[in-house]
Amino acid sequence: MVLPLGDLERTRITPYVTYVLIALNVVMFLFQESRGDRFTMAYACTPWEVTHGEDLNEPIEVRPPSVVRVRDPNDPTGRRILHIDRPSVEIPHAPTSIPTWMTLFTAMFLHGGWMHLLGNMLYLWIVGDNVEEVLGPIRYFVVYLACGLAGALAQIAASPNSMIPTLGASGAIAGIMGAYVVWFPHYQMRVLVFRFITVLPAVIVIGGWIILQVISGAGSFSKTGESGGVAYLAHVGGAVAGIIVAFLFYQRAQYIKARDAHDRGWSPDRRDEFA
């Protein structure tokens, strides 16, 4: 297990947008918890609802098409395999008060539990300030939403008729992480590796995470939409969007790195070049 704890590079800005995004996600999760599952289901993003433009406003029973393979307990050799139909699952869909396409955005601020929330906010806290410094507050916020949207659309494209709701800021944060690793691959990050704290470059910590999402997404592609779980394709879609943004603003990031390396070597005459 590799858990990032922070990076060693400080920024010259106060990352207000990052703080606001973290606060907004926490407040929305607390509100979500107070309202119960019906609120969560109403404002999560369901691929079928988005592709059909129709709100699923009551619980729906879904039977996954695949089967479970288990060993026959009555076979002493342990060789006989039984194929058992997976049980149907009831999804407690509830009516929403907004157009279905808007759930692409509301779902970004909902989470499936405290661990889901805390994990996402930890990554945003670590990488958000550096990315916000490069993009500036307005562009950073727009990129955050765009990466979240790209992640949701990637998940929908893989299974447009799925009735399994998706939620979380993971796609948006994957995009911010994608930009970070392109701009700052050698920045050092403190990580917890099992019981030990060490320092590793971002290209290993974040790059490795993105590669893992691609591998996991490819492995789960055929099962997308059958059951709940981690939306790996949303992570991949968000990361790809963030990497594209990183190349668009690559020169700006290099300038900021050089500025910081020269310790206040920034010239006001070059302000407009990177605005």
Q: What would the pLDDT profile of 227-241 be if each residue is shown by its tens digit? A: 455 678 889 999 999
Contact 179, 246 (CB under 8 A): yes
Determine the pLDDT at residue 69.
60
- Note the pLDDT tens digit of each residue in 68-111: 565 656 666 666 665 555 666 778 888 889 999 999 999 999 99
Work out the pLDDT band at 256, boundaries 50, 70, 90. confident
pLDDT band at 194 (very low <50, low <70, confident <90, very high): confident
Query: Residue 270: which pLDDT band, with cuts at 50, 70 and 90?
Result: very low
pLDDT > 90 in the chain, percent = 52
Residue 37 makes CB contacts below 8 A (sequence gap 6+) with 92, 94
Confidence of residue 2 (pLDDT cuts 50, 70, 90): confident
Neighbours of 229 (CB within 10 A): 10
Whole-structure pTM value? 0.83
193 to 5, 154, 190: CA distances (angstroms): 10, 31, 10
* Angle of the 16-35 helix axis to the 114-135 helix axis, nearest 10: 160
Phi, psi of 173 (to 5 degrees): -70, -35
Domains parsed from the chain with CATH numbers:
2-57+98-274 (1.20.1540.10), 59-92 (no CATH)
- List Cβ neighbours of 191 (8 Å cut-off, separation of 6 or more): 2, 3, 4, 5, 197, 198, 199, 200, 205
Which residue type does 53 have?
G
- Are 123 and 175 in contact by the 8 Å Cβ rule? The answer is no
pLDDT digits (tens, 9 = 90+) for 42-54: 999 999 999 999 9
Q: Three-class SS string for 128-196?
A: HHHHHHHHCHHHHHHHHHHHHHHHHHHHHHHCCCCCCCECCCHHHHHHHHHHHHHHCCCCEEEEEECCE
State the average pLDDT over residues 183-187: 93
Residue (of 211, 33, 50, 24) closest to 108 by Cα position: 24
CB neighbour list of residue 200: distance below 8 Å, 6 or more residues apart: 2, 188, 189, 191
Report pLDDT digits (tens) over 205-232. 998 888 887 777 565 544 544 445 567 8
Rounded distance between C-alpha atoms, residue 229 and residue 138, angstroms? 32
DSSP state letter for 86: P
Cα separation values, 206 from 72, 122, 123, 130, Å: 43, 13, 10, 14
